[in-house]
A and B are shown apart, each in its own frame.
Chain A
């Protein structure tokens, strides 16, 4: 099958959906001539014109709000927040408007919009361009939060997000944009709210999100050489969370580790752990359930410090080994 990068897969989905459906349009900063800060919309301005590839001023609140208004009145907007950090400026519109309009209006309205945004560190862009803020949205009733870890899922999840009738926060990762996978040419959906078992194993369950799925896969290769077989689960949608496969897996392996880039304190991992220990998997546990996540520090500029601020392959290997070999 044909390989596409994560960015190309997203672009193909946008192109196909926009061609087939006039309700879909894009809005964001520098998405036109420049094709977006990470090139996702490259070429789409020429294809669809300024009316449907809308370059906005630096107005994150305004653009998120414009998505809401358009969604309420029959469109299916796809907004791009240039770096996830800047979504801080859109929070009122997302949290206090988009998320609860349907509920507050007694179920009369739908807000079918997607806000795409690249999160994550590893690019040397320092503290205000490297945030992983997904858990802010997990905490808000009414939102869905999607985090594709590879090009195949990116294309299918984006389509599902566009056709979902709720506001969807779609978190991409800067370091994934150039990673490649087999991607079918025809449009397809990867349903929201379905976890995926990415690798099967019997010794330890690792739940990982976004770039950490890739790092965990690498760690699993190394661990396999030591006869440690890791089962990896990628929730793909962190809200709603499909926890059944996670619980089943932990019942099988008896051990669980959650890996994400965002700060550990108050992070998504805490939710996964508590769902595991509150379930029937509790009786099967042979070790404490652990989390490996970002340090409670802003992302530093110096590249070595930045590297150590978030989990890397070797940290996952160490942690997994310790869990399996009874280090805790």
Chain B
């Protein structure tokens, strides 16, 4: 791993600028949430993705709409990168009826199955087994989709991580396990809890390919994800892709952050994925200051509108409290026998 930027792979200018815009969109959204908490219009607590944008964007750029992701408590970036809309996301964070989950799930549970988002997750490691299951159905249905499962370095120490990696490797399932190693699990540095430095080393124990990339270099992440996806589609099984990154803000908004070493954040900010990608794009003559400013302004405006939308949205109706707990009863006679082999390539 080095800080040297990767080449632009096979991406077109349009795609590259699209990635750049997505990274700004995530940052603008997260900063709008941050400001909302400071202003007291959003309840404290959301886990923000600022500094880690290159991972979600690098991976999700390789995914098609039919592909799935599982996400985490720090999920806003993954969701936006997979096509999540800012307005219903923000509304969910404010607990409003117009949110992705009618205000009943909140920041840690945003999901949209139509976009292939199998949910953010309040349980560390909780998404990995689900990703295995979604990949299993891809195999059984010959659905052709891959599943990218995002999780942190902390999650890599859960039992679910180990069981999931083993299952996916043993069954050669199309999963990309994306470990976002931001050096902390909540307030505890990784070296206190983990005896190895590169978590990708664990891949070998399960018989899958493991790679570590610079997670603040969006093109490096992208290239590694392309390879992982190709392996998955070729029936060669899962990949453990470790992306080294750093979160610039607290574990949650309001975190006193007294567990960091002095100067640590400043040091990592020099490695901010956004300016790094900008530099590459400028050098390639794809973007200039003006276009950059414009994209920044546009994404900020989008985030602002999302917050306004959320603020002016109604609360869920009180009757929602006991709805959606179980699916209403459907008589068996209504169910047709379904074949699990669907048309080729259709999800």
Seen from chain A, the residues whose Cβ lies within 8 Å of a Cβ on chain B are: 29-30, 32-34, 55-59, 61-62, 85-86, 89, 124-129, 295-298, 300-305, 308-309
Contacts and interface: CB of A to CB of B under 8 A. Distances in A.
Contacts of A127: 104-105, 109, 122
Interface stretch (B26-34, B142-150, B279-287, B316-324): B316-324
A312 to B, nearest CB: 13
Contact of B188 (A32, A86, A304): A32
A320 B105 CA distance: 33
B193 A305 contact: no
A304 B122 contact: no
B186 A34 contact: yes
Contacts of A297: 321-322, 325
Given A34-B188, A302-B104, A124 B322 contact: no
A139 B126 CA distance: 26
B166 to A, nearest CB: 16
B43 A124 contact: yes
Contacts of B318: 304-305, 308
A303 B107 CA distance: 13
Contacts of B104: 127, 300-302, 305
Interface string B80-119: 0000000000001001100001011111110000000000
Given A34-B188, A127-B105, A301-B105, A59 B321 contact: no
B188 A55 contact: yes
Interface residues on B, range: 35 or more
B288 interface: no
A124 B254 CA distance: 14
Given A58-B158, A128-B126, A305-B321, 19 more contacts: A29-B185, A29-B186, A30-B186, A32-B188, A34-B259, A57-B185, A58-B124, A58-B125, A61-B159, A86-B123, A129-B108, A297-B325, A298-B325, A300-B103, A300-B104, A301-B95, A302-B95, A303-B43, A304-B318
B102 to A, nearest CB: 8
Contacts of B155: 58
B14 interface: no
B3 interface: no
A13 B316 CA distance: 43
24 contacts: A32-B192, A33-B188, A33-B259, A34-B186, A57-B157, A57-B158, A58-B154, A58-B193, A59-B158, A62-B159, A86-B123, A124-B43, A124-B106, A128-B108, A128-B109, A128-B121, A128-B126, A297-B322, A298-B325, A301-B106, A301-B107, A302-B95, A302-B103, A305-B103
Contacts of B105: 126-127, 301
A128 B124 CA distance: 11
Query: Nearest 7 pairs between A and B by C-beta?
Result: A301-B106, A128-B122, A57-B157, A34-B187, A302-B95, A57-B193, A302-B103
A135 B123 CA distance: 21
A132 B104 CA distance: 18
Contacts, number: 111
B18 interface: no
A127 B121 CA distance: 10
Interface centre among A58, A124, A129, A304 (most CB of B within 10 A): A58
Nearest to A33: B259
A293 to B, nearest CB: 14
Given A124-B43, A305-B316, A30 B187 contact: yes
Contacts of B43: 124, 303
B258 interface: yes
Interface of B: 43, 45, 92, 95-96, 101, 103-109, 121-126, 154-155, 157-159, 185-188, 192-194, 258-259, 315-316, 318, 320-322, 325
B164 to A, nearest CB: 14
A282 B265 CA distance: 66
B122 A126 contact: yes
Given A58-B154, A124-B43, A30 B188 contact: yes
A33 B251 CA distance: 14
A85 B158 CA distance: 15
Contacts of B259: 33-34
A92 to B, nearest CB: 10
Nearest to A301: B106
Contacts of B123: 85-86, 89, 128
A304 B321 CA distance: 10
A212 to B, nearest CB: 19
A30 B123 CA distance: 16
B92 to A, nearest CB: 8
B106 A55 contact: no
Given A57-B193, A308-B321, A29 B188 contact: yes
Contacts of A61: 159
Contacts of A128: 108-109, 121-123, 126
Contacts of A86: 123
A155 to B, nearest CB: 26
A206 to B, nearest CB: 24
A57 B45 contact: no
